[in-house]
Amino acid sequence: MGIEPTDGHGFHPEDIIFLLKGHVKKGYKFNPAGPISESSAHFRRNPEFENQTHCVIFVMDAKTIYYGIPPAYVQKISYLQDKIKREHIPMVLILTKADQLCNEVERDITKMFWSGKVQEAVKTASEVFSIDQESIHPVKNYEVDFNIETKTNIPLLIALRQIMQYAANRVERV
């Protein structure tokens, strides 16, 4: 379940806010129709620091970004962005399937950062998600590849390193 463009589908936005703040206990079954209530057995009234989120990672198909996100989706994302920024939680966006935007990148993953289509997807994602471009990581999925490729792993590892740095920085600040 993710953030879906229509109401009643995907995570309820308030559940995500409660989750970020550490109020949702393990075992809670997310319900798109309504958020967790404070009377729920899975609601943590006084979350500890370790229960809170220290970095938010959005994952989005690069083709969806490049060819246009439905306005209702943008609306939910904007709502969440506002709440996440109020909590001062760093954000990273992983753009999956970025190699599928361009034939040249599909043939040679090392061309990803020079592709105009990938750069356009990163720029659009930055505007939609209100995330700096340096926090947006286009990557190739392991969909049909059975062999682990160093060239494919490098963008993934760069993203992971940044996520770990952002989380560590937030832990140090708080």
Residue pLDDT, tens place only, 148-166:
788 888 999 999 999 999 9
Divide the 174 residues of the chain into consecutive groups of 10 and give the mean pLDDT of each group: 74 88 93 90 94 93 90 84 91 95 92 93 92 95 75 90 94 82
Task: Kindly state whether residues 105 and 138 are assigned to the same domain.
Answer: yes
Task: Kindly state whether residues 30 and 71 are assigned to the same domain.
Answer: no
Task: Kindly state whether residues 2 and 67 are assigned to the same domain.
Answer: no
pLDDT at residue 145 in the model: 66
First CA to last CA distance, the chain: 30
Domain count, the chain: 2
CA distance 77 to 3: 8
Predicted model pTM: 0.87
CA distance 74 to 125: 10
Task: Kindly state whether residues 113 and 134 are assigned to the same domain.
Answer: yes
Task: Kindly state whether residues 87 and 10 are assigned to the same domain.
Answer: no
Task: Kindly state whether residues 143 and 129 are assigned to the same domain.
Answer: yes
Q: Which residues contact 167 (CB under 8 A, 6 or more apart)?
A: 54, 55, 90
pLDDT at residue 1 in the model: 65
Task: Kindly state whether residues 18 and 61 are assigned to the same domain.
Answer: no
DSSP H or E segment with residue 116: helix 116-129
Task: Kindly state whether residues 99 and 113 are assigned to the same domain.
Answer: yes
Residue 34, domain extent: 1-47
